[in-house]
Structure 1
Amino acid sequence: MASQFGLLLRQWRQRAGLSQEALAQRAAVGIRTVRGLETGERTDPRMGTVRSLADALELTGAERAELFAAAGRDEPVVLEPVRFDPLAEAVETLKVAVEARWRREEEQGQIHDPVPLPVRWDAAPETLRDSWLNIGGEAALAGRLDQIVEVYRKVGSRRLVVLGRAGAGKTVLTTRFVLDLLGARDARDPVPVIFSLGSWHPERVGLRDWMAEQLTRDHPFLGAPGPSGGTLAAALVDAQRVLPVLDGFDEIAAGLHRPALNALNTTTLPLLLTSRVDEYRDAVEGTDVLTSAAAVMLADLTCDDLADYLPRTTRKDVWTLVLDEVRGGGVLAKVLTTPLMVALARRIYSDTPDHDPAELLRFHDAEEIERHLLGSFVPAVYGVEAERVQPWLGYLADHLTRLGTHDLAWWRFGTSSKVTGLSVGIAVGMADLVLEAAVLGMFTARGVSFAVMIGLVTGVLFGVAHRYVVRAAPLEPVRTRLRLRGRLGKRVWSRALLGLAFCGAVGGTYGLVQGISFWLAWPGWKMNTGVLADVVVFSLVFGLGGALVFGLVAAMETPLDVRSAGSPGDLLDANRRHVFGLAAVVVPAFALFVVAATQVGVVVLVALRFEVVWTPVSALALGLVGGVGGGLAYGLSLTAWGQWVLFARVWLPLTGRLPWRLPAFLDDAYRRGVLRRAGAVYQFRHARLQDHFARLP
């Protein structure tokens, strides 16, 4: 008698229009097996047999489960293989990094000490927003700081412009927006990231490419290759896994606001944009509103806001006279209407002993009060050290103003090719003199003259190279580390060709100087043929050695891993390690190659009947000088870390414009609230502070 399994098998086989032979062939089982199961002669089929029959009959869902149950088996759940999604992992890592960064910044800015200032806003004039049809439905946009995410989500297009005058609280709002959005974020939502628009040049680079560059700068691990070529940062931007919070539209260079607004209108990215009112209005009048974007306008603080906030910032009863003046509508009522000015007043008078805010009553002009608050900020936070640090802050502000940016990047403290060439010449000349003396065991007149000449020539060569490299593109920090294994590719070969050309030119010049130094030391030496031989041999030796080490380094470079944070100090440390790692690879490899290649050259020259004065010891000296000298020259002139050492740690402190312990000074200014961190760069706490210090003598 057929079993329940046999009856089901026959029923579904006949429904499929298959004979027993056809089913057996399709399931790759024996015909006797199929016949025995249907007739009941076989009642205990194996798990694999049942699965094969179910697959052959194309059973799914309940029918498949019924067949397995009839066989007295439960089909094991087949787990789909977990596919690694590099974008999903990058998104989660980026979320953690962004949240930690801006929570620290909010704490550093005393936003919640004792309570946040009541930042509020209303809908902006209709002329500054798109039509509600394009936005995606009319919505009430008025709100306060803790409602920013709620208001943003009312905007159907998810494109919102936040307008306000200087110091109105736009930066405070963007920070709170990011943190609140991350707190309520679904796993499928993009990560909100704040981008300071001041460094964007819309006529040179598109918005998406610029965003990818900024992400890589602040989060080096996003420089790793993405799933479809390019970088992880570019892939996140293209896949809209990043929500751009574009802070400071007004800080874009003068003349570029209209092109910037046009560029923003070519994208459909959801975004939040902040700007001062006048700059945004001018751009709108010259082009059009931001497509599909709603707009809100930050409101001034009221007298009640001040009365609720300022007395809570100190246990001293010192704000009564000031609040009475504000209630009376005096000049102070025009100044203490923005979070910036209120925060400055709080820092100067509530947080500092022996400062009475009643002194504000002696001023009768709003601009004069603002200058007083800005000028009193550093003395309040530094005390007796203010006179010493103020010129340094003034230099930093002037430096940023000349660069046209608000980003204080450690790799952009100097670009003078003259200073670079002079420093390279001195460093290489001294290295040559010391190394030759150490290897040969003595100082000689020829050695001194050769050190002077090679220092001069190398300084000129690398000074010129620095000038043209920096003119083409400013030096940027590396975002790679060196690993023991690498693979050959176009990048390796292109680097090798670059090393061959540049080091060959340096080697030819080196050979010329070497020949001249021999001629000066031994007047009987064959000047013409000897110099020619030196130029040819050194061009080949240095060129091939340069190709070797350039290609080797390219093969060993890999993006910084996820643990490499993007703070200024972390990125600086990573670059220092990279340069020292580079030297540890380049110097020995180049020196050994030069020693071996020089000995081959000696054999060839002797066979050609040239007079040769090189020995294995002099070849060793040559290799060390070439490796160490070349490493010093390259590191000081063509790496961001080398330029930092040269200018920020030596030249600018030597000329009195910055302190000798610059990293400690910047970190101290950050802890005191004068500077803030924005990823891998510092910024003044507010653009008004930078403008104030830039005007100081």
Structure 2
Amino acid sequence: MTGEFGDLVRGLRRAAGMSQRELAERSGLSERTVRRLESADPGDTRIGTVKLIADALELAPQERRTLMAGAAADDPVELPAQREWPVQAGPPVDDGLSDAARRLAHIVQARWKREEGQRGVHDPFPLPVRWRPVPADLADRWDNICRLPPGEKAQPIDLTGKLPDIAQVYRAVPSGRLVVLGEAGSGKSVLAIRFVLDHLDTRSPAEPVPVIFTLGGWDPGTPLHDWLVDRLLRDDPGLLAPAPSGSTLAAALVEAGRVLPVLDGFDELPEGLRAPAMAALNQTSLPMLLTSRPEEYAAVGTVLNWSAGVRLDDLTPTDLAHYLPRASRDADSWDPLIADLPDPLAGALRTPLMVTLARAHRDSPAALADPALDTTEAVEEHLLAGFVPAVYQDDRRWPLERVQHWLGHLARVGPVEVAWWRLGETLSRATRILAVVLASSLVTALVDIAVSLPLMLAAGLGVGSALLDGLLIGPIVGLGFGLIYGLLIVLLDVRIAPSRVRLRLGRGRVRVAPTVPTRMLAGFCGGFLVGVGYGPVSLLLRGIATGFGPLDVVIRLAMVNSLMIGLAFGLAVGAVLGVVALLESPHDLTSATGPLTILAANRATAIRTVLLFAPLLSLALYVSGVLVVAVFDGVFADLVWEGIGAAVISTVGGISGAVSYALAFTAWGQWLVLTRVCLPLMGRLPWSVTTFLTDAHARGVLRQTGAVYQFRHDRLRTHLTR
């Protein structure tokens, strides 16, 4: 291909009145790819890319043929045997993202290999998952699927297949958009995992990395691009590192078409959000694989643009006869039942989910033929009800009644995901604010007593003075943190999420997007508020020790004290939070992440923050107090900030402020206060929450998706909520 092709693309683009950015947006290609195509040496470009350019420019048939000829492409009417990727086609472009894409592929592959093994998909062998093409009204026209120009016709591609064929079948779809429909429990999620693993096994460097996203957590009010980036960062905080373009690696990978979204669970979106979600999906040209139950998908009234579709078949009696005896220790017990399956039981065992539950059921197979189970729904409810007792039977660590109560609480946490940092949100706002007040008050009181007690004893004031000091200062600081926390969660509806950064000193640190001004402003407001409350209390303590003067003088001094200490605290906290923001760097998580991995990383970050924050804040409080006195001394009154008293206030403020900040405004701190203390105290979760979650995952009650847990199926979650 010569520079003539680049001149041709540039001329057609200008004739259409488009900029390179506009052409990139309309075609679904990256702007860098468009620039390469218009260069003197555009390189080897596949037919899929040229078609996308032609579609975006809305070329007439003759212009389209000229463009195809200039690219030395094949006849555009013929369908390729293997799918040509419409995004980032041809050999890998040197966009600086190849290493990030390889790293993402490694993490995704390790994550889903481990999860597939955890789910027992291959024990003793995978249940058959077969499919056939959907009716014509549930897929787009083949002319559109093949992205042909007006007047040209395409012949349907036979998409019939079974589980090992899924990656090959997907690649046969020219548009790269495939919808997989199936009943509840029919194996859609297992198919999505197998697609990711098979696709990665045969992925070329030019192809995007398939990543599973659970759609139930998406609000279509958030642009799909932004939501995909947010989910990538949640599950892999290392992608917060800057890309060559200046954005994060996560945003750059999505923008450049290096991520293939596998959108699992369209049906799990609330009913009112499905139509807006479909409209949002149809506003993009991203290739994707989408799963849904048929009824919910059909009820939207429109289909995914350019999408082919398949529907999963039911299991057959032959499938059951091959699988259940080999999956049971007592193989012979299944043979009589399979030979003469009652209709209700046969209706229930059409899906892999129900077969798996039947396999785990603690009753004998013959019990499933009980005449009382006279409908398919009754059999399914019986299997769902028996699953938790079966996997927890005879376990002394976890009493069954308590386990069901705890799982019921987790099932009500959210419609789809069980995220460790969201568990505390099940408490009322008033309870959460009170917990923050009590935790901050206790920390401040203990720190104040520990620091001031030696000085009080040296001055001959006794232990009582130190206790009084702590009991007065603690609630003031606690109320200050509680007020700030309450404003954030009640008025601003802020949700505290896991930190995506760590604190790192020295060279080789990767800088993240600057948040210094925002941190400094928030720190100043919070510090000022706490200082204003601390001012009158410090004056009260001084009055108890040395006596009070006239009331009008006391009131004036209290006001001045509050203003000056508030200003000193605000300046100190704002400055230190700015410094902390400058020291942040993305997490370096090079292996597959999970909920407990993210939790451990956040715990380490919170502890490092306290260890760095406390001495810096103590020093900053002392220095800011000196500066405030130097500026305002004599303006309102004679100000004093020196000696042991100032050092004690600075030390107590620095340590208690750092710890209280970590408890109130970090995800790990909220986990510690609300999930590890409050929820177990109220009986909603066990004391060893992490052990319980890990154990439930190992037993197959929960499954793991990136940084969060989910119940193994939505039907099980719905059952447990009752």
Given the two structures, how large is their TM-score scaled by the length of structure 1? Answer: 0.81
Contact 2:240/2:512, CA 8 A, preserved across alignment: no
Percent sequence identity over aligned pairs: 43
1:211-290 map, 5 Å: 211-283=228-300, 285=301, 288-290=302-304
Match of 2:651 among 621, 624, 646: 624
1:427 and 2:444 equivalent?
A: no
Match of 1:493 among 508, 513, 517: 517
Contact 1:477/1:575, CA 8 A, preserved across alignment: yes
1:388 and 2:396 equivalent?
A: no
Query: What one-letter code is carried by the residue in structure 2 that aligns with 1:305?
Result: D
Match of 2:224 among 193, 201, 207: 207
Query: What one-letter code is carried by the residue in structure 1 that aligns with 2:528?
Result: G
Residue 482 of structure 1 aligns with which residue? 503
Residue 125 of structure 2 aligns with which residue? 115
Query: What one-letter code is carried by the residue in structure 2 that aligns with 1:309?
Result: Y
Q: Work out the CA distance in 2 between the residues paired with 1:532 and 1:564.
A: 55
1:306 and 2:333 equivalent?
A: no
Residue 14 of structure 1 aligns with which residue? none
1:132 and 2:137 equivalent?
A: no
Residue 455 of structure 1 aligns with which residue? 474
Contact 2:242/2:512, CA 8 A, preserved across alignment: no
1:682 match: secondary structure: strand
Query: What one-letter code is carried by the residue in structure 1 that aligns with 2:494?
Result: A
Residue 108 of structure 2 aligns with which residue? 98
1:407-446 map, 5 Å: 407-415=417-425, 416-440=428-452, 441=454, 442=456
Q: Which moved more, 1:678-687 or 1:464-473?
A: 464-473
Q: Work out the CA distance in 1 between the residues paired with 2:98 and 2:514.
A: 29
**Residues 104-139 of structure 1: CA distance to partner in whole angstroms, max 9, x if unpaired?**
111111111111111111111111111111111411
1:1-400 map, 5 Å: 86-136=96-146, 137=154, 138-203=156-221, 205-283=222-300, 285=301, 288-316=302-330, 317-326=332-341, 330-348=343-361, 355-362=363-370, 363-385=373-395, 388-389=399-400, 391-400=402-411
Question: Compared with structure 1, are the counterparts of its residues 175 and 434 closer, same or farther at alpha carbon in structure 2 (3 Å cutoff)?
Answer: closer
Contact 2:419/2:709, CA 8 A, preserved across alignment: yes
Question: Compared with structure 1, are the counterparts of its residues 400 and 627 closer, same or farther at alpha carbon in structure 2 (3 Å cutoff)?
Answer: farther
Query: What one-letter code is carried by the residue in structure 1 that aligns with 2:399?
Result: R
Deviation at 1:607, TM superposition (A): 6.2
Deviation at 1:618, TM superposition (A): 2.0
Deviation at 1:179, TM superposition (A): 0.8
Query: What one-letter code is carried by the residue in structure 2 that aligns with 1:334?
Result: G
The unaligned stretches of length 5 or more in structure 2 are 1-91, 147-153, 457-461
Contact 1:446/1:518, CA 8 A, preserved across alignment: no
**Residues 448-499 of structure 1: CA distance to partner in whole angstroms, max 9, x if unpaired?**
4554444333333333322332343311100101112588996323322332
Deviation at 1:85, TM superposition (A): 5.3
Q: Work out the CA distance in 2 between the residues paired with 1:573 and 1:224.
A: 20
Residue 679 of structure 1 aligns with which residue? 706
Alignment root-mean-square deviation, CA: 2.5
Question: Compared with structure 1, are the counterparts of its residues 198 and 332 closer, same or farther at alpha carbon in structure 2 (3 Å cutoff)?
Answer: same
Deviation at 1:153, TM superposition (A): 1.9
**Residues 562-587 of structure 1: CA distance to partner in whole angstroms, max 9, x if unpaired?**
43653111111111111111111111
Q: Work out the CA distance in 2 between the residues paired with 1:402 and 1:570.
A: 21
Contact 2:253/2:259, CA 8 A, preserved across alignment: yes
Deviation at 1:624, TM superposition (A): 2.0
Contact 2:443/2:474, CA 8 A, preserved across alignment: no
1:466 and 2:485 equivalent?
A: yes
Residue 579 of structure 1 aligns with which residue? 606
Residue 83 of structure 2 aligns with which residue? none
Contact 2:347/2:376, CA 8 A, preserved across alignment: yes
Q: Work out the CA distance in 2 between the residues paired with 1:304 and 1:490.
A: 61
Residue 8 of structure 1 aligns with which residue? none
Query: What one-letter code is carried by the residue in structure 2 that aligns with 1:422?
Result: L
**Residues 144-192 of structure 1: CA distance to partner in whole angstroms, max 9, x if unpaired?**
1111112212211111111111001101111111111111111111111
Deviation at 1:228, TM superposition (A): 1.6
Question: Compared with structure 1, are the counterparts of its residues 564 and 150 closer, same or farther at alpha carbon in structure 2 (3 Å cutoff)?
Answer: closer
Mark the structure with the bigger radius of gyration. 1
Deviation at 1:507, TM superposition (A): 1.2
Contact 2:113/2:197, CA 8 A, preserved across alignment: yes
1:513-532 map, 5 Å: 513-519=537-543, 522-525=546-549, 526-532=553-559
Q: Work out the CA distance in 1 between the residues paired with 2:626 and 2:596.
A: 45
**Residues 389-430 of structure 1: CA distance to partner in whole angstroms, max 9, x if unpaired?**
554454444455453x31111110113443333333333333
Contact 2:571/2:624, CA 8 A, preserved across alignment: no
Query: What one-letter code is carried by the residue in structure 1 that aligns with 2:658?
Result: G
Given the two structures, how large is their TM-score scaled by the length of structure 2? Answer: 0.79
Question: Compared with structure 1, are the counterparts of its residues 688 and 509 closer, same or farther at alpha carbon in structure 2 (3 Å cutoff)?
Answer: same
Contact 1:427/1:632, CA 8 A, preserved across alignment: no
Contact 2:701/2:712, CA 8 A, preserved across alignment: yes
Contact 1:499/1:547, CA 8 A, preserved across alignment: yes
2:128 match: secondary structure: coil
**Residues 28-53 of structure 1: CA distance to partner in whole angstroms, max 9, x if unpaired?**
xxxxxxxxxxxxxxxxxxxxxxxxxx
Query: What one-letter code is carried by the residue in structure 2 that aligns with 1:497?
Result: L
**Residues 605-641 of structure 1: CA distance to partner in whole angstroms, max 9, x if unpaired?**
8867957786622222211221122123222221111
Q: Work out the CA distance in 2 between the residues paired with 1:633 and 1:216.
A: 27
Q: Which moved more, 1:534-543 or 1:604-613?
A: 604-613
Q: Work out the CA distance in 1 between the residues paired with 2:378 and 2:544.
A: 70
Q: Which moved more, 1:670-679 or 1:381-390?
A: 381-390
Contact 2:517/2:578, CA 8 A, preserved across alignment: yes
Q: Which moved more, 1:606-615 or 1:237-246?
A: 606-615
Question: Compared with structure 1, are the counterparts of its residues 600 and 131 closer, same or farther at alpha carbon in structure 2 (3 Å cutoff)?
Answer: closer
Deviation at 1:347, TM superposition (A): 2.0
Query: What one-letter code is carried by the residue in structure 2 that aligns with 1:433?
Result: A
Contact 1:602/1:614, CA 8 A, preserved across alignment: yes
Q: Work out the CA distance in 2 between the residues paired with 1:603 and 1:446.
A: 30
Residue 509 of structure 1 aligns with which residue? 533
Query: What one-letter code is carried by the residue in structure 2 that aligns with 1:414?
Result: G
Q: Work out the CA distance in 2 between the residues paired with 1:488 and 1:373.
A: 50
Q: Which moved more, 1:604-613 or 1:471-480?
A: 604-613
